[in-house]
């Protein structure tokens, strides 16, 4: 990606950023419910020429809570909802592994972000990464990206664990984070 001719990249977490999170996991398309304002935020990014990628841990597969086909149906619902709002997701990467599998793609490991960089041919230095959990932020820092915390999902708990968010930008939700990004770019 040539920064002068290609769109700017942003990486979003899924659960707790785009859609409501659940301690019991999002196991079906019916359980996938967008956070108010998130779909419009993605549409605003796309309208301004941004490339939108999603990186999501999906250990429910390793835990036997749902299979890859069900996850694909959840993602198809998300893609359709984003498109209906006037936006789009250019790339989605997910980790199907469990916490003890030792993979390099489960956040806080940076493998998902590196996969996005490789597939898009970009350097992640300074790329905004919006997440609600410490692992999202840790993976972003590991690749030199610019982490941003939202208080939806696990965000309030993450902020408490970081103390004043460790100097990272903190926003109420994805819509507020995107508004700030668009005002400053």
- Catalytic option among 13, 21, 132, 173: 13
Give the 3-state secondary structure percentages of the chain, helix then strand then coil, rounded to 5: 40, 15, 45
Out of 15, 21, 132, 173, pick the active-site residue.
Answer: 15
pLDDT at position 161 is: 87
Task: Tokens 């994805």: give the residue.
Answer: 174
Q: What is the arithmetic mean of pLDDT over 64-73? A: 98
Handedness of CA 93, 103, 24, 21 (dihedral sign): negative
pLDDT band at 166 (very low <50, low <70, confident <90, very high): low
Identify the CA nearest to 107 among candidates 150, 157, 57, 67: 57
Write down the pTM of the prediction. Answer: 0.94
Domains and CATH numbers, the chain: 9-183 (3.40.50.1000)
Name the token pair of 95: 């980790």
User: pLDDT tens digit string along 101-120?
Assistant: 999 999 999 999 999 999 99
What pLDDT is attached to residue 167? 81
Measured in whole angstroms, how far is the alpha carbon of residue 1 from the centre of its chain? Answer: 20
Q: Which of 48, 176, 57, 170 is nearest to 110 (CA)?
A: 57
Q: Residue 127: is its pLDDT beyond 50?
A: yes
pLDDT band at 3 (very low <50, low <70, confident <90, very high): very low
Instruction: Mark whether 15 is an active-site residue.
Output: yes
Q: What is the mean pLDDT of the chain?
A: 94
Is 21 designated active site? no
């Amino acid at each position: 990606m040539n920064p002068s001719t290609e769109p700017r990249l942003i990486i979003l977490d899924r659960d707790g950023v785009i859609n409501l999170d659940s301690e019991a996991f999002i196991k079906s398309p019916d359980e996938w419910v967008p956070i108010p304002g998130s779909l419009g935020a993605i549409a605003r990014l796309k309208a301004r020429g941004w490339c939108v990628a999603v990186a999501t841990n999906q250990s429910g597969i390793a835990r036997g809570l749902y299979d890859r086909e069900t996850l694909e149906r959840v993602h198809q619902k998300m893609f359709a909802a984003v498109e209906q709002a006037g936006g789009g997701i250019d790339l989605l990467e997910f980790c199907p592994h469990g916490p003890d599998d030792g993979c390099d793609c489960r956040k806080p490991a940076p493998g998902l972000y590196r996969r996005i960089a490789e597939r898009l041919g970009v350097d992640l230095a300074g790329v905004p990464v919006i997440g609600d959990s410490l692992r999202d932020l840790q993976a972003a820092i590991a690749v030199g990206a610019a982490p941003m915390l939202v208080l939806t999902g696990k965000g309030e708990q993450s902020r408490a664990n970081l103390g004043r968010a460790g100097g990272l930008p903190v926003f109420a939700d994805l819509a507020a984070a995107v508004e700030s990004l668009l005002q400053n770019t």
